[in-house]
Amino acid sequence: MAGELSPIDKAKFVAAKRAADLVEDGMRVGLGTGSTAAWLVRCLGEMVREQGLSFTAVPTSTRTAELAREMGIRVISLDEAKWLDLTIDGADEFDADLNLIKGGGGALLQEKIVATASDQMVVIADAGKEVETLGAFPLPAEVIPFGWQTTQALIEETLVSMDVLGRTATLRMNGDAPFVTDEGNYILDLHLKRIGNCRQLAMVLNQIPGVVENGLFIDICDTVIIGYGDGEVETRDINEGTVEKDRLDFVETDNLFTDLAD
């Protein structure tokens, strides 16, 4: 039940709940991946069942697609949708300019494709995800398996000339085997500590052979909805330059809080 949630889960829930209100009948909506996005999918599922909300979803991962279908949400591919009205997703870090680090859940490639195919991208996050400078969270880079160690060496060599504090890249593991993305690729986590020039780094990384995409989302996010453990919600619109604050009451809802697995 909501009353039994930890403060951080309450923060994720209220951010997701506020973002769910942005979805209208007939919309084509990108659904992100991760723990906060899972709250969103459950909130939207309840709105479909209880309020008759009718929209079409394009998930950014197989596990989001599975949860959406379980919640009764209609799921289609991006090729079927062609263009989206809105994408709502989480973030591992965001700064004052709404630049993001994403990919902690391993879905950064699909997440970036879906977000850039949308009229608007809204990020939902707990307050702990806000940082002054990106980089404390390891930056994911999705790489093809062929020659991944060579790609790793090229990345680390390239980082020497970048404005970062750390230059180590490690292969993400899933138990004893490499973590494999939905596209069959590997992920190298770059331990940079601080990124001085996000735009430059994003461009340079994507020039390295073997790198498919990186987890820096620059000039993609339009709005961030920040949740707090006491139910407060803050909405920042980077285009309008507005900040709105609200507070949501917690209501115990079995449909939302039973068997939640992110």
Query: Residues within the annotated binding site?
Result: 33-36, 89-92, 102-105, 129
Catalytic choice (46, 93, 111, 142):
111
Asked if residues 101 and 123 have their Cβ atoms less than 8 Å apart, the reply is no
Number of other CB atoms surrounding residue 113 within 10 Å: 14
Radius of gyration of the chain (CA): 18
Question: For the residues of the chain, what is the DSSP string, one character each?
Answer: -GGGS-HHHHHHHHHHHHHHTT--TT-EEEE--SHHHHHHHHHHHHHHHHH----EEEESSHHHHHHHHHTT-EE--HHHH-SBSEEEE--SEE-TT--EE--TTS-HHHHHHHHHTBS-EEEEEEGGGB-SSTTSSPEEEEE-STTHHHHHHHHHHHHTTSSBS--EEEE-EETTEE---TTS-EEEEEE-S-BS-HHHHHHHHTTSTTEEEESEE-S---EEEEE-TTSEEEEEETTTTEEEEEE------HHHHTT---
Q: Enumerate the known binding-site residues for substrate.
A: 33-36, 89-92, 102-105, 129
Among 79, 109, 72, which residue's Cα sits nearest to residue 185? 109
70 is annotated as an active-site residue: no
Q: Which residues are catalytic?
A: 111
